[in-house]
Structure 1
Amino acid sequence: MKSKIAGIVFILGSLYYLVAEAISAFSFNDTLVSTYLFHTISELGIPNINSPLSFLMNSAFIIIGLTFIFCNFYKFKDFIIKNKAVFYILTLIAAIGVIIVALIHAGNPVTDGYHSLGAIMAILGGNILLIIISRSMDKFESYQKITLVLGIIGLIAFWIMFFNMGSLYMPVFERLSVYTLIIWSFISGVYLLRNTKVYS
């Protein structure tokens, strides 16, 4: 039963994030394509005239953070056979980081540092978490390999973004480094549902 509940929450949390971002981007003060290519996810969460549905984007940040905490601590921990302390710590770092992003917005010189810290915690901590998870489970099969690849892609995208903050296409790398976490949440939900009978 725990696997089923956690699996459903993982899937719903990831889908909510993607839908909320899409709706927020659609309402943003630019074309949809330009918003995804040239405007960061953080911009969608700034409460101003450019982003009338900023509350929706911020709710998605909070929900995906809570999804990580709930699912990992409630059930996914049972699949981790080593590095459990690191698993717990990185889960909290990533989840708290994304919640900070939701509560402390970008675009304000006073709070920009805290917002950036939250983003680094979420993206860097989250993708390192994926790599740790892939090497901390009992087996190294398709799910673990996909998790490892997602973590590596996320880290590469993060570093490209980090060293190209002034690039016109920086938001593309930002999204790529975040989407690895969202995709992982979805496939983890499927993984848990498939293993409900064995690991309930």
Structure 2
Amino acid sequence: MPARTKTAGGLLTAGGVVYFAAEFISAAAWTDPPYSYTYHYVSNLGVRGPVETLHQVMNSPLAWVMNTGFFLFGILIALGVLMLRGLHGWRRGVSLTLGLLMAIGGVLLALNPGGGQEAAGQIDYHPIGALASIVSGNVLAVLMGRQHSALGVSRRVGRSMVVLGAIGLIGLPLYLSVAGSEFGLIGLVERVAIYPLFIGQILAGASLWRGRATAALSPRRAPEAARTT
């Protein structure tokens, strides 16, 4: 496979890895009391605080790490989609649009931490960014999964991406139904909507890398096959 495909795979993988790394690092630094993946919102990690809103205390010591992750993940994935080969016509246009929405959503998340402290009459861009990222990211995972053969992604990964995107899209209304409440597993429900889109892009990126490695080995195998026939 061409170097462009390898670059696309690296960018898609990097987008997911950057998000998970930023979340892990900022959550690990929040120790008093410990941050809970099942109870706390993801957005709490980007609020320096201390702020109490949505029935939760937000006080992230490394808020800048999470906000850096928010800023970068969508841009990296959007660039990865831009570098993909095999998508043409409306499929390429839709994929690029979804990638752009992810990038815009991530930037909005980073520049507008989710503390819910906007003055009366001001627009809260944080939930707008969150919805843009979650919806576009999961739809993109489904679309890429359906076009796996054209992209050079394995069939198994393609099917996994479709399932993951569907899980994320189903998880979003479930999360919205409990958002703002005192439900004890609200962080877990939120992650059901978020994690699938990143896992899908990591799988796609890794598959593109493996595909290139296989292609690089095939010329060596050809003479051996010829000798055995």
Shared fold by TM > 0.5?
A: yes
What CA distance in whole angstroms lies between the structure 2 residues aligned with 1:2 and 1:154? 29
What CA distance in whole angstroms lies between the structure 2 residues aligned with 1:170 and 1:80? 37
Highest RCO, 1 vs 2 (Cα 8 Å, sep ≥ 6): 1
Q: Identify the residue that residue 177 of structure 1 maps to in structure 2.
A: 193
- 1:185–1:171 Cα change, 3 Å: same
Instruction: Name stretches of at least 5 consecutive residues in structure 2 with no aligned partner.
Output: 51-58, 217-229
Q: Identify the residue that residue 167 of structure 2 maps to in structure 1.
A: 153
- 1:83–1:146 Cα change, 3 Å: same
The alignment's TM-score, normalised by the length of structure 1, stands at 0.87
Q: After superposition, what is the alpha-carbon deviation per residue over 1:167-198, rounded to whole angstroms, capped at 9, x for unaligned?
A: 23221121221111211121111111122265
Within a 5 Å distance, the mapping from 1:188-199 to structure 2 comes to 188-196=204-212
Q: Identify the residue that residue 79 of structure 2 maps to in structure 1.
A: 70
Q: Identify the residue that residue 41 of structure 1 maps to in structure 2.
A: 42
**One-letter identity of the residue aligned with 1:24:** S
Contact 1:14 1:183 in 2 (8 A): yes
Contact 2:26 2:66 in 1 (8 A): yes
Within a 5 Å distance, the mapping from 1:1-200 to structure 2 comes to 1-32=3-34, 34-49=35-50, 50-74=59-83, 76=84, 78-81=85-88, 83-107=91-115, 108-110=117-119, 113-138=124-149, 141-165=155-179, 166=181, 167-196=183-212
What CA distance in whole angstroms lies between the structure 1 residues aligned with 2:29 and 2:72? 20
The alignment's TM-score, normalised by the length of structure 2, stands at 0.77
More helix by share: 1
Moved over 6 A (4+): none
**Amino-acid identity (%):** 29
The size of the alignment, in residue pairs, is 196
Over the aligned positions, Cα root-mean-square deviation in angstroms equals: 2.2
**One-letter identity of the residue aligned with 1:38:** Y
Q: SS at the partner of 1:36?
A: coil
Q: After superposition, what is the alpha-carbon deviation per residue over 1:105-151, rounded to whole angstroms, capped at 9, x for unaligned?
A: 11223466311111000001211121222224446821211110010
Contact 2:74 2:99 in 1 (8 A): no
When Rg is computed on C-alpha atoms for both structures, the one with the higher figure is: 2
Instruction: Name stretches of at least 5 consecutive residues in structure 1 with no aligned partner.
Output: none
**One-letter identity of the residue aligned with 2:87:** I
After superposing the two structures, state which structure 1 stretch, 9-18 or 94-103, moved more. Answer: 9-18
